[in-house]
Amino acid sequence: MSTIEIRPAVAADAARICAIYNPYIASTTITFEEAPVAEMEMARRILDVNEAGLTWLVADLGGEIIGYAYATRWRARPAYHHSVESTIYLDPEASGHGVGERLYRRLLDELHSRGLRAVIAGIAQPNARSVALHERLGFKKVAHFTEVGFKLGQWVDVAYWQLMLPGDRPQQSHSL
């Protein structure tokens, strides 16, 4: 593959991101969304991630986005502030060329630089390629939920992998 630029996503990337993501919605159990995502909705999602102080990245090959990765808050309550859930999708043509690993490593570096601690990835099962990518990056399997989703006429398991980013624990104030 030619030179791939990994850069922050912008709203103008939404149409191409939808073109990558919507086929996964339509024909796989990899995502539990069931309706295609419109360009304006995807642009809002990109903006929401950026406004939350998190990261949404795209892999750009000669002006064409071939993959994306981002992080969202793991849970809303304040104690979860240092934990995020990660997501990555590639154009099927880009799969198997190291794009996913490079994109994900950059995402993890960005999250670490923001002082985040735990990265959690939910993976619908089976998905051997995604499991292999996460484990290559150091994620460890921490949970497996049986038949928690139903899509395309079948029950789907979801397993979770976690990666602890290096760093100190935040200091807590103790008031009496």
Is residue 70 assigned to a domain?
A: yes
Q: Tell me the CATH number at 119.
A: 3.40.630.30
What is the span of the domain harbouring residue 76? 4-164
Query: What's the mean pLDDT when you consider all of the chain?
Result: 93
What's the token pair of residue 112?
Answer: 């670490």
Is residue 131 assigned to a domain?
A: yes
- Tens of pLDDT, residues 146-166: 999 999 999 999 999 999 999
Altogether, the residues listed in the chain come to a count of 176
Counted domains in the chain: 1
Q: Is 161 exposed, middle or buried, given 0-12, 13-18 or 19+ CB atoms closer than 10 A?
A: buried
Q: H/E element holding 45?
A: helix 39-51
Using 50, 70 and 90 to split pLDDT, how confident is the model at 174?
Answer: very low
Confidence check: pLDDT of 169 > 80: no
Is residue 155 assigned to a domain?
A: yes
Half-sphere exposure in the Cβ direction for 133 (13 Å, CA): 24
Is residue 175 assigned to a domain?
A: no
Is residue 86 assigned to a domain?
A: yes
Using 50, 70 and 90 to split pLDDT, how confident is the model at 69?
Answer: very high
Is residue 74 assigned to a domain?
A: yes
- Tens of pLDDT, residues 29-43: 999 999 999 999 999
pTM: 0.92
Is residue 173 assigned to a domain?
A: no
pLDDT for 173: 43
- Tens of pLDDT, residues 129-138: 999 999 999 9
Is residue 176 assigned to a domain?
A: no
